[in-house]
Structure 1
């Protein structure tokens, strides 16, 4: 079970994309043209847009979209003048990247890889990593933060979105407590089976110590942060913060 869960998650995402998943819908030609004119915004978390000040001037910058496939952010960064690489484990998400690149006549490096393993990228390669909510699909995230630090240039920026674990406590209706934290299907066979049957994928809760503390432990300096809420549901209605986005620098 432990050896194949990331492959299972890639298959889950492939199916979600084919079923019309919100985070698997590539941007339109009009959105690409708007981005070329400087009119763009992107998300690391469900609701809030990332401040433009977090990016600086993207022209000529080397950007890694880490688990950021789907043809949503990388086309925008390319339109803004960046040289982009996207790494994802979902074939469907990467196919969307290829489709948009072909449609808009630009070049992007597309890499299918499992981010729970060392990244197949050289040291000191990127000016910026864009990593939207996705590390909930791997069990151990400290090695990932260390890999991000390794592949960034000195002064490089990591922009990351992640949940704080609260969503995993509740049932699907968000009306009652259902699970204890930490949420880890690899250590609970019944939870694993429930996750598969409910089409959740194999997800994991992570603590702030793992998320922000892990970035600091990897060597990053935290320079900005904001919190966000779910896009729908009772927790959304009550404005319960369930996500964070961080800007850290090597």
Structure 2
């Protein structure tokens, strides 16, 4: 859990300032390495030969994993420092760009078979234009796989807050280089689902998975390794 929280309009975290520390944590921590990434890869399925866009790619670990399964992968991130780390990981010839998820994307229509957006949408206030852009760059019947902070986490951690209100909140974390504030947008589950539907996506699967079977025991929050409420995953199809 975070050390503290603010529901004021704290600016979004500047990832350039702690990109290396965040990337290092992402490699082997519970929530990214043994929870979000394995489930995103499972939902992606057989990706050999598919053209895939990683929307909010960070330092590129998912791009690397998808490429290892013979996908043709492109990615973008808002942080130039993260993009530089991704290029180092993937090679200078990799298609990794600096772009804003909340702005028009630098890709043509129908360019991708699959878009993955892992833990990136909850940084954005207005999902409608974002989802319209993601649908635009997908081929007809293309898939969008999304992970977000589970909406019920907000209700559990902040029981006095209005669960049904679109709310900006900030939490502080320690990545080994001092305190970092990260700012998210909470929306209730009904708004999450209805925004996907309104954007022209059909829901194929929704999951609340357990940690990966190879998770080190010392990382698990419960001794018996059972699942816990953390992130929510969607496999969507463009219609």
**Structure 2 length-normalised TM:** 0.73
RMSD: 3.5
**CA separation of 1:23 and 1:247: change in aligned 2, threshold 3 A:** farther
1:223 partner SS: strand
Aligned residue among 207, 216, 241 for 2:229: 241
| Count of paired positions | 214
**Inter-partner Cα distance in structure 2 for 1:62 and 1:226:** 24
**Inter-partner Cα distance in structure 1 for 2:180 and 2:39:** 28
**Inter-partner Cα distance in structure 1 for 2:153 and 2:221:** 11
User: Do the aligned partners of 2:74 and 2:96 also contact (CA within 8 Å) in 1?
Assistant: yes
Q: Which is strand-richer, 1 or 2?
A: 2
Aligned pairs for 1:47-196 (under 5 A) are: 49-50=39-40, 52=42, 54-102=43-91, 107-169=93-155, 177=159, 179-181=161-163, 182=165, 184-185=167-168
For residues 113-147 of structure 1, the C-alpha deviation after alignment (integer angstroms, 9 at most, x for no partner) is 11112222211110010111121111111221121
**CA separation of 1:91 and 1:170: change in aligned 2, threshold 3 A:** farther
User: Do the aligned partners of 1:168 and 1:183 also contact (CA within 8 Å) in 2?
Assistant: no
How far 1:220 moved relative to its partner?
1.3
For residues 161-195 of structure 1, the C-alpha deviation after alignment (integer angstroms, 9 at most, x for no partner) is 11232333455xxxx7464433634xxxxx67x87
**Structure 1 length-normalised TM:** 0.70
**Inter-partner Cα distance in structure 1 for 2:37 and 2:76:** 23
How far 1:201 moved relative to its partner?
1.9
Give the match for residue 215 of structure 2: none
Structure 1: gaps of 5 or more residues: 27-41, 186-190
Aligned pairs for 1:35-54 (under 5 A) are: 46=36, 49-50=39-40, 52=42, 54=43
**Inter-partner Cα distance in structure 2 for 1:129 and 1:47:** 14
**CA separation of 1:48 and 1:55: change in aligned 2, threshold 3 A:** closer
User: Do the aligned partners of 2:37 and 2:62 also contact (CA within 8 Å) in 1?
Assistant: no
Aligned pairs for 1:216-227 (under 5 A) are: 216-227=197-208
